[in-house]
Chains A and B, each alone.
Chain A
Amino acid sequence: MIAYTLQRLCYVVLVIWVMSVLIFGITQLLPGNVAYSILGQFATDRQIAEVEQLLGLHDPWYQQYGRWLMHLLEGDFGRSIVMQRAAGPLILEAFSRSALLAGIAITLVALIGIWLGTHSATHRGKLSDRLLTLLQYFFIAVPEFFWAILAIILFSAWLGWLPATGYAPIAESGLWRWAAHLLLPVMTLVLGLIAHVSRLTRSSMLEALRSTYVLTARAKGLPERLVLRRHALPNALMPAITVLAVDVGILIGGVVVVETVFAYPGLGRLLIYAIEHRDLPLLQAGMMVVTAVYALANLVADLLYAWVNPRIRYRASVA
């Protein structure tokens, strides 16, 4: 297990490094000029040239890349050019807010999705299963941005139950209002993913229930719930875990849209702001953070999968 973990860790580092080159490369291609963003419309050409020189924008690309990478490794995330403050704290703060949203969403998705999927599988063919399947088909097809708009209209404008904007600092508004502000964005994120996870859990649960261990266990006379808990569920969970890891990517995408619609000051919105303003340091640092998180999430999923399924570990250590 240790060997496998180390192997995967090295691999994650490699991925992050390659991504850094890619991110740096693509952002260099962005048209528009950050010097204009800093100096504004009235800068003279000479001033633009000076600022570009100062920012090292005329140095050969490998020099710029090297410098950037060195700083990153030292923990210096650069300086947001447009907002004239250190990018690191900005990103970390925004990230913590996005992480909160995503964390709550994914926990709910995991709990509710797996429970729904299990229920569906064990009550296969009955009304509740059919109803759930129908709902699942529907939910998968609704784009996040559509949910978000509908949710605002229904719950905020018409019914007036919940606030329309996504963030109230917990210190000021207290626990309930803070949670109330999060409810709609979280709900929007959850609805799209739950269908996916519950469907997958259902089908892998169905397979597990047909598998030999379960048949044997039943034949041995074990009570149904023990059969489920000890034999069927763990096998059904494996694909569900992998899906959850892939879903982190979808979640991040959903988070970007949800943050825009609900005015939630998270990392997705910050990145869009950075792209629009060609704030390269902010953009590069932000994208690195997102990539690292995603790679780590995948790593965790891989490790979980390997832990639950010893065959993977064995194959890896032998290869």
Chain B
Amino acid sequence: MTNWRWVRLAVVGFLVGSIVALLQPCGAAAQGVLRITVGTSLSNLDPARTTTGEEYIYDNLVFNGLTRMRADLSIEPELAEKWEYTQDLKSWTFHLRHGVKFHNGREMTADDVIATFKRVLDPATASAARSNYDMIAEMTAVDPYTVRFDLKYPYGGFADILSDRQVKIVPKDLVGELPTHPIGTGPFRFKSYTPGDRMVLERNPDYWEAGSPKLAGVELRIIPEMSARVAALRAGDIDIIWDLPPDQVKPLSEIADLRVDSVPTPSWDAAIMNNSIPPFNDVRVRRAFQMAVDKRDVVEIVLFGQGAPTHSPIPPTHPFFNKEIGFNKADPEGARKLLAEAGYANGVKVNLIVPGGRPVRERLGVALQQLAKAGGFDIQIQTVPFSQYDAEVSGKAPIYIDGYFARPTIDTSVYAFFHTNGSWNVRLWHFSDPRVDEVLDKARLTGNPDEQKPLYLAFQKYLSEGQPGFIAYAVNFICAYRKSVQGVATHPMRWFDLRQASIAP
């Protein structure tokens, strides 16, 4: 077997040699490229049509809006250097910066702004944010650098909502190219995108803010497996993990090279109940569910403490939070009694749909299934990929788990969801309470927080009586960073402001 022996030796030698060679430590970023990892691919590259957290990161890097939201949720100018509004809050004029260039070199003007908003308002674009801007009656380009918005009704927070993800300014003539070759004015230019693998963005050398960005580029890497993401961060293949699950906070905090940051946000998760079909069309059934489960237990079980129970999208950290309502301890007998009153003496049997691919919400489903059992709810969990929610679940299933990201203002966080005419309401709970409608309408009409506060306090009270769904908690937003990453704050709106970011050698 002489020949065989040499062949064998050669093969073994090659394998050993390669393994030894490959054991060289890997890591070390290509100079100045920040690598962020997310869990799912982006489907939409057109800002008006983006709806997921991963897509919002991209929106904020490649584009700019008229205004920008800081990490403390206050507003500052971005593409608009200043603005004025009339006393009646119905007419707003924005003065655009001069010399801001799109990535293809053309200057941004008022026409682009108007085209952007027209698109968002056009039902044909099917933008998720459309109803947030339905107060806009008319837009005029007073001159190439000035845009005036005339509103149908007074809206104090108008400048605030212009910082939102879907209204980033896009070039009016290149709208058709957005899905494949997006062009914006942001600090980073789109270079390439391989679904399932990564999106590559490079530095915009002509960015209008001097001295920024510092990075040579940004990569959004898509790694569905959480343990693979953590392993990559530890090995130095990745610099930031976006949206770290709460169960990873403790183990990662103990590692020397890493830093974990957890900030409270208004983002919330809930068991959404369909108020228009049985069994949850009866408010007593909804209240029974509420009685059966202690939200504080839920936060502990599902979030490992990285969050706080809440009654509505208004988070406990907000000055408008209604502290008097309180959270009930689990009361299974009370729940069963209420169910019996509503005609369900033998309890309620129902399917709870849980989003596949969203582990924290899946855990919420499992936790609620178990906790509500004693209260008379016999729940079967059904996992549906969250990408199928629109077609099969939202607004249709009797009860399902879903969650929503923070919005720029209280009004945008609650109006669309709880007002009878709210655009999100019909896709969720089909909830209607005239008292809620009244306070929400009133609150919109004033820009004065002192006037808004009592209205929103009342809103939360009515909500806790009407219980459209089981709003479990406001969840913290957590990211893990390698210590070499500097100049990045963890933003409660779940995007990254990377203008001043850099990587220490």
Contacts and interface: CB of A to CB of B under 8 A. Distances in A.
Q: Do chains A and B touch in the complex (CB under 8 A)?
A: yes
B128 A40 contact: yes
B179 interface: yes
A165 interface: yes
A265 B1 contact: no
Interface string A1-42: 000000000000000000000000000000111001101111
A203 to B, nearest CB: 20
Nearest to B41: A273
Interface string B182-216: 00000000000011110000000000000000000
Interface stretch (B223-231, B261-269, B318-326): B223-231
Residue of B195, B224, B228, B391 with most partner-chain A CB within 10 A: B228
Interface string B352-369: 000011000000000000
B345 interface: no
Interface in A125-156: 149, 152-153, 156
Contact of A83 (B26, B195, B385): B195
B51 interface: yes
Contacts of A163: 26, 232, 235, 237
B6 to A, nearest CB: 13
Contacts of A65: none
A270 interface: yes
A134 to B, nearest CB: 21
A82 interface: yes
A160 interface: yes
Nearest to B130: A42
Interface string B337-354: 000000000000000000
Contacts of B41: 273
A278 interface: yes
Given A265-B197, A278-B391, A153 B423 contact: no
A161 B19 CA distance: 10
A41 B390 contact: yes
B196 A270 contact: yes
A277 interface: yes
B24 interface: yes
A276 to B, nearest CB: 4
A120 B30 CA distance: 47
A232 to B, nearest CB: 12
Given A40-B128, A44-B123, A115-B8, A278 B388 contact: yes
A176 B24 contact: yes
Contacts of B22: 161-162, 176, 179-180, 183
Interface in A190-209: none
A265 B224 CA distance: 11
B232 A164 contact: yes
A217 to B, nearest CB: 15
A263 B222 contact: yes
A211 interface: no
B18 A179 contact: yes
A273 B392 contact: no
A83 B43 contact: yes
Interface string B126-158: 111010000000000000000000000000000
Interface string A104-123: 00000001100100000000
Main SS of chain A's interface residues?
helix
Given A39-B126, A47-B123, A176-B24, A276 B388 contact: yes
A180 B26 contact: yes
Interface in B362-415: 385, 387-392, 394
Interface string A204-234: 0000000000000000000001001100000
B227 A157 contact: yes
B388 A176 contact: no
A225 B392 CA distance: 66
Contacts of B130: 42
Given A40-B390, A42-B423, A165-B232, A177 B26 contact: yes
B21 A176 contact: yes
Contacts of B229: 164
B8 A261 contact: no
Given A42-B423, A183-B22, A228-B1, A167 B228 contact: no
B11 A164 contact: no
Nearest to B40: A273
5 contacts: A33-B391, A37-B391, A42-B130, A153-B227, A261-B228
Interface of B: 1-2, 4, 8, 11, 18-19, 21-26, 30, 41, 43-44, 49, 51, 123-124, 126-128, 130, 179-180, 194-197, 221-225, 227-232, 234-235, 237, 356-357, 385, 387-392, 394, 423, 427
Given A36-B391, A179-B18, A180-B26, 17 more contacts: A37-B43, A37-B391, A40-B390, A42-B128, A47-B126, A82-B43, A164-B237, A165-B232, A172-B30, A177-B26, A179-B22, A183-B19, A260-B224, A261-B225, A263-B223, A270-B196, A276-B385
**Closest 8 pairs (CB-CB, A-B):** A164-B231, A36-B391, A265-B197, A276-B385, A156-B231, A265-B196, A225-B1, A263-B223
